[in-house]
Structure 1
Amino acid sequence: MDYQVILSPKAVNDLEKIVRYIAINNPEAAKKIGQQLLSKAKELSQFPLRGQIVPEFNDPNLRQLILKPYRIIYRVEQSKKQISIARFWHSSRESLEL
């Protein structure tokens, strides 16, 4: 059975900010990166443990996928068969906040 992928309010806000920022100079690129980030996040429904453990937290349920220069931070909730996308984080930003 596939896992359900859910975006947290912070993740939705992150994605909106990323797309708006890129769209200032390149609306087509903004749309493309937004779609790529969402597509990569949705892939987790099939492969929830695909990402690596987030080094800042060392929690086996908190993982990340990289789509340079972005990190997709997510929590695996195996008992609920659910993936919660916590953040879409640009690698140039300082310390990760959940």
Structure 2
Amino acid sequence: MLYEQCHAHLLAIYDHIGHNSELYAIQVADRLTRRSEQIGAFPLSGRTVPEYQNPDIRERIEGPYRIIYLIKPGHVDVVALIHGHQALPPFV
């Protein structure tokens, strides 16, 4: 499940990259979306986020972006999609 805030993050990434290259923006958005979908099928494939020190909060790296997700019984929630240089949001 991709939280609404992550959709906003994805659109912001697309808009930022799209100022220089719409084609590259489409490619990046597609890769981030596909990676997020893969997380649902393989939730343990990501590493534990060191800053949170919780084994249920994990991340996958796609290029310079971090896809942060929470493993819950029966499903996975993607909770943040940020550039690697951005500060992590406080975990809800």
State the TM-score bracket (shorter-chain normalisation). over 0.9
TM-score, with normalisation over the residues of structure 2? 0.93
The correspondence for 1:41, drawn from 32, 36, 41, is 36
The correspondence for 1:82, drawn from 67, 71, 75, is 75
State the number of aligned residues: 90
Unmatched segments (≥5 aa) in structure 1: 1-5
Is 1:91–2:88 an aligned residue pair? no
| RMSD of Structure 2 on Structure 1 (CA) | 0.9
After superposing on structure 2, the runs of 4+ consecutive aligned residues of structure 1 that deviate more than 4 Å are: none
Under a length normalisation based on structure 1, what TM-score does the superposition of the two structures give?
A: 0.87
Q: What are the residue-to-residue correspondences of 1:13-92 with 2, within 5 Å? A: 13-77=8-72, 79=73, 81-92=74-85
Q: 2 CA distance for matches of 1:31 and 1:83?
A: 25
How many percent of aligned residue pairs carry the same amino acid? 28
Structure number with higher relative contact order (C-alpha < 8 Å, ≥ 6 residues apart) = 1
What is the DSSP-based 3-state SS (H/G/I as helix, E as strand, rest coil) of the residue aligned with 1:66? strand
